Amino acid sequence: MDAPRWRRQRALRLRGSEVLYSVVVPALDHLHAAARRALEKDGWTVTHDPLTLRMGGRSLYVDLGAEKLLAATRGNRRIAVEVKTFVGPSLIADLQQAVGQFAMYEEVLGQLEPGRELYLAIPQSILQSVLQDDIGQLMVQRRIPRILGFSPDTEEVIRWIP
C-alpha cells in the first residue's frame, strides 16, 4: 500500500557522511504517475515534475507543469496540475484541503507565471462524488474552476472542467 499523501519525504544532500542540508518536500499522491501518463496521452508534454514555485524564500511544489502546442494560435498553452486522490476518511475534509491548496497555488502562480493555468486532477470516480455533493458543487463553481477528471485504470483524461 502506498504511503498516505500527508507523509513527507526528506531529501538529504550528503558529502561523505556529513549532512550538508536537508529539505522537506511533499510526498507524491499515489496516483501521480497515472495522472502524468493521462496528460501525456492527451497530447501534453510534461515540462516539470514537480513545478517548483519560489516566493519570499519559500518553495511550493505543484505536482506537474505541462504544455501543449496549439496549432491554431501557433503558441503553447501552459498548465500546472495538482493531483489529489481524496483518500481521507471524509470527502469534505479532503475537499477543504484541496480548496486551500488550490487557492494558495493559484495566487502564487498568478504572480510568478501569469500565463499558466492551474488545474486540480482527481480520479473521475471522485469527481463524480464531488459533483453530486452540494458543497462539492459550490466549491467547483466558486473555488476550483479548473479540474481534470482522469481514469487511474486506463490512464486517460476523461473530463476537463471547463
Whether residue 128 lies inside any domain: the answer is: yes
Residues spanned by the domain of 38: 28-161
pLDDT digits (tens, 9 = 90+) for 60-74: 999 999 999 987 666
Whether residue 12 lies inside any domain: the answer is: no
What is the spatial distance between Cα 161 and Cα 102, in angstroms, rounded to a whole number? Answer: 15
Residue from 12, 15, 26, 14 nearest 59 by CA: 26
What CATH number should be reported for the domain holding residue 132? Answer: 3.40.1350.10
Of 3 and 32, which is predicted with more confidence?
32
Q: What is the pTM of this model?
A: 0.83
Going from the C-alpha of 75 to that of each of 31, 47, 112, 113, the distances in angstroms are 30, 16, 19, 16
> Residue 75: pLDDT band by 50, 70, 90 thresholds?
confident
